[in-house]
Amino acid sequence: MGIIVKIIDYFFDNIVSFFLYYYERFFMYRIKNAWGVANLRKIKNKGVNVKAVGYSRFLDPQNITLGNNVRIGYGCFLFGKGKIVIGDHTILSRNITIYSSNHDYNGNMIPYDSNYVDKPVIIGKGVWIGMGVMITPGVTIGDGAIIGMGAVVSKNVGEGEIVVGASQRVISKRDMTLFREYEKNNAIFSVKHPHS
């Protein structure tokens, strides 16, 4: 009886898990990428070489503009009602939320009425936004900025600023002279990115 249990354990531990791994790796990966491509087709105002991966969602896509070579990672949510503009060569990691509109809490109902207050979100060129970042309506992020993982961006970010945390603390600044030189020489991110 003990040998039969060992054979069944071996079967489930090795063979079934092998098939489940490759099912997830190849089959589900293709479904997730197809979802990203299908959603990206809804955005008409986009440049060349734009990629969205996985279960990303774009609401009011007619108000979203994407520059050239933009990358959008798994699980991003862009609410474009108030207008979202993302500049060339900008990379959004996974699970990023960008809102360009919010409920009107000054209306005639509690806690808010059915109206929206639209405020555009403008993201510059060559910006890198880390995983889990939330961007609120009305924010402008300057060229070359880096937003650290998990940050809540509720006020403007200057060119080249490196921002982290829920308090949006500036910890450093990029060399924007070098950034502009790279931009002029078209030294953009072009290698195969694992999330592209």
Residue in 159, 162, 140 with CA at minimum distance from that of residue 151: 162
pLDDT at 28: 55
pLDDT of residue 40 exceeding 50, the answer is yes
Mean pLDDT of 182-192: 67
Are 76 and 97 contacting, i.e. CB atoms less than 8 angstroms apart? Answer: yes
Q: Give yes or no: 103 in active site.
A: yes
pLDDT of residue 145 exceeding 90, the answer is yes
What are φ and ψ of residue 115, in 5° steps? -85, 160
pLDDT at 15: 67
Are 102 and 122 contacting, i.e. CB atoms less than 8 angstroms apart? Answer: no
Query: In the chain, pLDDT over 90 holds for what percent of residues?
Result: 49
Query: In the chain, pLDDT over 70 holds for what percent of residues?
Result: 77
Average pLDDT, the chain: 84
Mean pLDDT of 33-48: 78
Residue in 176, 113, 174, 124 with CA at minimum distance from that of residue 153: 124
The residue among 178 and 69 whose pLDDT is bigger is 69
pTM: 0.77
The residue among 7 and 182 whose pLDDT is bigger is 182
Task: Give me the domains of the chain, ranges plus CATH numbers.
Answer: 42-184 (2.160.10.10)
- Mapping DSSP to helix (H, G, I), strand (E, B) and coil, where does residue 23 land? helix
pLDDT at 196: 44
Phi/psi region, residue 88 (left: phi>0; alpha: psi -120 to 50; beta: rest), is beta
89, 103, 193, 195: which is the annotated catalytic residue?
103
pLDDT of residue 110 exceeding 60, the answer is yes
CA gap 75, 169 in Å, rounded: 25
